[in-house]
DNA sequence: GATGAATGAGCTTTCATTCAT
DNA sequence: GATGAATGAAAGCTCATTCAT
C-alpha cells in the first residue's frame, strides 16, 4: 500500500466536485453571488447586483434558490464539508496506514493541503467566517458536521503521537487548540500579506518556523 | 517607583472613559446600537430597532449621528484606540522601568489586562472584527493607529528579551505572530466556551498552558 | 411647392411624438407626475401621491426613473425640444421658400402654431417655467438648445424683413425682445382668462390687436 | 404745488418702511428666509437652513412665525403692497395734479421708479412670482389688493391720455396689457442680463426703445 | 427555463414643529 | 425671549420576492 495521504485528499475533492450538476446559468449565479457576498457581506449584497454580474434576470435567481438566504446556504454548505475533507476519510484503517511517522510531517501535509484548498475557495471561506455569527443554522451545521468530526479525528491522531512519545501529556483538546491557533495564525497572516508586494513575506520560511514552533511547544524534551 | 504595569493600564482606561460627555439619550442610543449591531451585523441592523431599544424616536438618532455609518464609527473608533492602550503608554522610560524580568511574566500581564478589557467591550470588539472587512476607513484606521503601533512597541519588547537571551533568534515579526496566534486562539476558545456550562473549560489551566507553550516554542533551550 | 409652414410644424410634431415607446404603466406615471408637479410644484410633490394617481406601486416609479429628479427631467426635456420645433426645421431653404410676405403673416402663423402647442402641453410648460430657476441643468439645456437656436433663426427672419423694408432699423435682439414680450403677454393673459367665464375675453380680437400693436411699433412709417 | 410724482413715491415707501417694528433676531430671520426661499424655492427650503443662516436656533423661528408658511406670507405680503405703491396714492386729486403731459413721460417715470424698487426687493419679488401659483391665499391677495387696484388706477390714466388724443381708441384693458407686456419684457430681459458681463446690454438704449415702441404702437398717427 | 416588470414592505433620512429649560 | 433636544410623520428610495409572458 503505497498511497499517500495527498492522493486520498485529491480523490475526495474530486468525487465531491463531480457530484454537482448545474446549468451554466446556475453556476454563473453562484459565482456572482460568491463575489458579491465576499465583497459586501450577505446583508449588504443585493440580488439585483448578483443578477447583473451573473448576466441573468433577477427572477432567474429565485427560480433556482427559493430565497436569498437559500443562495447563501447553497454556497456555504458544500464548502463547509470540503473544509474537513482530510479529516473524514471513510475507511478508518487506511487513514492510519497512510500515516506519517512524525507529528511534524502530519502538520506539513495538512497545511499544504488546506492552503491549496483555501486558494481555491478563499471567497467562500470568507463568507462562511463572516456569516456564521448571524445564522444559527450555520452554527449548528458547523458544530455538528465540522467541529465534532475534526475533533474526533484529531483526538485519535494526537493519541497516536502521544503513544509514540512524540507529544507531551497535556489534554488533547489543548494540544489541538494550540496547534490550530498557530496554523490558523499563519494562514491568516499569509493571506493578509498575499496581495501586498512590499510585505517581504517569505512563505516557505514562515511555514517551517510555524511548524517548528508547534513541535517545540508540544514535544517531550 | 513601585507602580506596576497594571496600574498604568487602569489609569489609562479610566482617563479615557472620563473624557466622554454625552446626554442620557445619546448614551442609550449608543448602547442600543452596540447591542443590535453585535446581534445582527451592521448592514442587517435597522435604525428603527435601535431607536426602539434605546427608547427614543428614530429621528433622535440622526440628530446625534448624521448617518447610520456615522453611528458605527462613533462606536468602533474609540474602542479601537483603547484596544492598544497597553502599547501606547506615553512615557517611554517608564514602560521599561515597570517592566518584567521574563517574557512569561510580560505575557501573563498582557493577557490578564486584555481579557479584562474584552470582558467590558466584547460586543464592540465583535462589531469591529465583523465590520473591518467592509469599511476601508476602518481598515485604514486599524493599520495606522493600531497595527503599526502595536508592532512598533512589540519590536522593542522582543528585542529586549532577545538581548537578555530569553528568546530565540528568529525574526521579530515571526515571534510576534506566533505569540499572538496562541494568545488570540486562547481568547477566542475561551469566549466560545464562556456561555456553555457543559464545556469543562478550566480557564486558569488553559491560560498557563498557553503561556508555557509559547515559552517552550520561543525559548533558547 | 405649395406646402405651408403649418404643415411643416404638424409633421415635425407628429414625428417626434411617434418616437416615444413606453409601457402603459410608464405612461400613466408620466401623466400623473405631470399633473402633480403642475399642481404642487416639484419639491412639494410626493412620489407617493404620483404613484397613487398613476395607480401603480411607489417602487414602480423608481424602476423606470432612478430618482424623482430624473422623472422631472424626463418630463421636461422632450417638451423643451418641441417648444422650438418651428425654429429648427432642418432644411434651411425650404424654410425660406415656405415663407411669408409680411412680418404680420409670420407672426400670425407662429402664434397660432404655438398656442395649439401650449393647449396640448400647458402643464408641462408650467412645470418647465416653475423649475428652471432651481435646476442649473435645465437652465443650461434651455440656453444651449432653446434660446440660442430660436435667436439664431429669428435673426435671419428679422434680417429678411428688414431687407424688404418692413422693419425699422433697430438691433435685431431688440426687435425680437419686443415682439416676444407682446406675444408672451398675450398668451399669458389668454391663459389666465381661459378658465374664467366672466372674463369677457375676445380672443380673436386681442390676438389681432397684439399683432397690429407689434407691427405699428416696428414698421417704418 | 410743485411736488413731483417721484417725491410721492419716496414718501410712501418711507412711511411703510417705518411702520415695521422688529427685533434684530426677527429681522435676521426674515433676511435669511428671503435668501433661502429665493435660492431653493419655498418647498425645498428647510427651516433648519434658515435658522443657521440667521444665526438663531430653529425654535426661535417658530416663536415669531407660527408655521413655515406664516414666514412666507410675512415676507411676501408687505412687498405685494409696496409693489403697487405708485398706484395707490391716497389723495386722488393730487395724483392727477402731479401728472405728466404725455403718456411717454408717465411710462418713463413708472419704469424708473419700479426698477429702483425691484433693485431693492428682487429676491422677494422672485419668491412672490414663484409661489403665487401654489398658494390660493396669495392669488386672492394679489387679485384683490394688487391687480384690481392697479387696473382701476390705470383705467383713469389711460382714459385721461385718450381724452387728450394721445392714445388710440382700443379697449383700456388691451392698452394696459400691451403696455405692461413691453415693460415687463424689458425688466425681465434686463434682470437676465444684469449678471452677465458679456451681454452687451445698453440699458439706457433698450429702455428708450421700449418706450418708443409702446408709444408708436398705441399713438394715433 | 428564463425573463423583467411590478410589487409593497421596509429602509435611512429629513423635516416642521413642540416644549422643558 | 431664546434655545436646541426631541419628536414622529412623511419623504425618497431599495429590496427580496412574485408572476404573467
CATH of the domain at D127: 1.10.357
The kind and range of the H/E element at D114 are helix D103-131
Taking the CA of residue B39 and the C1' sugar atom of nucleotide E14, their distance in angstroms comes to 28
Give the mean model confidence (pLDDT) for residues A51-55. Answer: 96
Touch between chain D and chain B: 3 or more Cβ pairs under 8 Å: no
Residue C203: which domain range?
5-218
Q: Is residue D210 part of a domain?
A: yes
Q: Is residue D120 part of a domain?
A: yes
For B181, nearest residue in chain A (alpha carbons): A185
Q: How far C209 CA lies from chain D's nearest CA (Å)? A: 8
For residue D52, say whether its CB is under 7 Å from any atom of strand E: no
From CA D159, how far away is CA D175, in angstroms rounded?
Answer: 10
Q: Is residue D29 part of a domain?
A: no
Taking the CA of residue B167 and the C1' sugar atom of nucleotide F9, their distance in angstroms comes to 66
pLDDT of C88 over the 80 cut:
no
pLDDT of D97 over the 60 cut:
no
User: pLDDT tens digits for C3-46?
Assistant: 555 565 555 554 444 445 677 889 999 999 999 999 999 999 99
pLDDT at C9: 54
Chain F: bases < 7 Å from a protein Cβ = 1-20
From CA D147, how far away is CA D151, in angstroms rounded?
Answer: 6
Residues in chain D: 221
User: pLDDT tens digits for D168-217?
Assistant: 999 999 999 999 999 999 999 998 888 777 778 999 999 999 999 999 99
Among chain A, residues having any CB pair with chain B shorter than 8 Å are 40-41, 43-44, 126, 130, 133-134, 170, 174, 177-178, 180-182, 184-186, 189, 206, 209-210, 213-214, 216-218, 221
pLDDT of B123 over the 70 cut:
yes
Taking the CA of residue A143 and the C1' sugar atom of nucleotide F19, their distance in angstroms comes to 39
pLDDT at D196: 76
- Say which of C44, C134, C185 has its CB closest to residue D181: C185
In a mutational test of the C interface, the residue from D68, D127, D138, D185 whose CB has the highest number of chain C CBs within 10 Å is D185
Q: Closest residue to E14 by CA to C1' distance?
A: B59
pLDDT at D88: 66
pLDDT of C173 over the 90 cut:
yes
For residue B177, say whether its CB is under 7 Å from any atom of strand E: no
CB atoms < 10 A from the CB of A169, how many? 7
Task: Scan residues 122-161 of chain D and list those with Cβ within 7 Å of strand F.
Answer: none
Number of domains within chain C: 1
Which residues, other chains included, contact B153 with Cβ-Cβ below 8 Å and sequence gap of 6+?
Answer: B87, B88, B95
In a mutational test of the C interface, the residue from D217, D218, D219, D221 whose CB has the highest number of chain C CBs within 10 Å is D217
Residues of chain A by 3-state class (helix, strand, coil), percent to 5:
80, 0, 20
Mean pLDDT of chain C: 86
Chain E: bases < 7 Å from a protein Cβ = 1-20
Task: Scan residues 41-80 of chain B and list those with Cβ within 7 Å of strand F.
Answer: 56-60, 63-64
From CA D221, how far away is CA D219, in angstroms rounded?
Answer: 6
CATH for B166: 1.10.357.10
Cβ-Cβ contacts under 8 Å, D142 against chain C: none
Tell me which residue has cell 410721492. D8
For residue C124, say whether its CB is under 7 Å from any atom of strand E: no
From CA C60, how far away is CA C57, in angstroms rounded?
Answer: 5
CA torsion, points A107, A108, A114, A117, in degrees to nearest 10? Answer: -160
Give the mean model confidence (pLDDT) for residues D68-87. Answer: 88
For residue A167, say whether its CB is under 7 Å from any atom of strand F: no
Which residues, other chains included, contact A32 with Cβ-Cβ below 8 Å and sequence gap of 6+?
Answer: A50, A51, A53, A54
- A221 with B217: Cβ contact below 8 A: no
User: pLDDT tens digits for C180-210?
Assistant: 999 999 999 998 888 777 768 999 999 999 9
Chains that touch A (3 or more CB pairs under 8 A): B
Q: What percent of chain D has pLDDT over 90?
A: 60
Q: How far B196 CA lies from chain A's nearest CA (Å)? A: 13
- Band (pLDDT 50/70/90 cuts) for residue C92 is very low
From CA B51, how far away is CA B7, in angstroms rounded?
Answer: 38
Cβ-Cβ contacts under 8 Å, B42 against chain A: 43
For residue B64, say whether its CB is under 7 Å from any atom of strand E: no
Give the mean model confidence (pLDDT) for residues B143-159. Answer: 90
Amino acid at each position: 500500500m503505497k498511497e499517500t495521504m495527498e492522493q486520498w485528499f485529491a480523490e475526495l475533492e474530486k468525487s465531491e466536485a463531480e457530484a454537482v450538476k448545474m446549468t451554466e446559468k446556475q453556476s454563473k449565479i453562484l459565482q456572482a453571488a460568491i463575489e458579491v457576498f465576499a465583497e459586501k457581506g450577505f446583508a449588504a449584497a443585493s440580488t439585483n447586483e448578483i443578477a447583473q454580474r451573473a448576466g441573468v434576470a433577477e427572477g432567474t435567481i429565485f427560480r433556482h434558490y427559493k430565497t436569498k438566504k437559500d443562495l447563501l446556504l447553497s454556497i456555504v454548505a458544500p464548502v463547509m464539508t470540503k473544509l474537513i475533507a482530510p479529516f473524514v476519510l471513510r475507511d478508518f484503517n487506511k487513514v492510519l496506514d497512510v500515516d506519517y511517522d512524525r507529528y511534524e510531517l502530519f502538520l506539513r501535509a495538512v497545511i499544504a493541503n488546506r492552503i491549496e484548498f483555501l486558494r481555491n475557495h478563499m471567497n467562500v471561506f470568507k463568507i462562511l467566517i463572516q456569516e456564521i455569527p448571524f445564522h444559527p443554522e450555520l452554527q449548528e451545521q458547523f458544530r455538528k458536521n465540522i467541529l465534532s468530526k475534526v475533533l474526533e479525528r484529531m483526538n485519535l491522531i494526537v493519541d497516536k503521537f502521544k503513544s509514540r512519545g512524540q507529544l507531551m501529556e497535556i489534554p488533547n483538546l489543548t494540544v489541538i487548540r494550540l496547534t490550530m491557533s498557530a496554523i490558523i495564525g499563519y494562514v491568516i497572516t499569509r493571506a493578509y500579506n498575499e496581495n501586498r508586494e512590499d510585505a517581504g513575506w517569505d512563505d516557505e520560511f514562515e511555514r517551517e518556523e510555524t511548524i517548528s514552533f508547534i513541535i517545540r511547544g508540544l514535544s517531550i524534551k
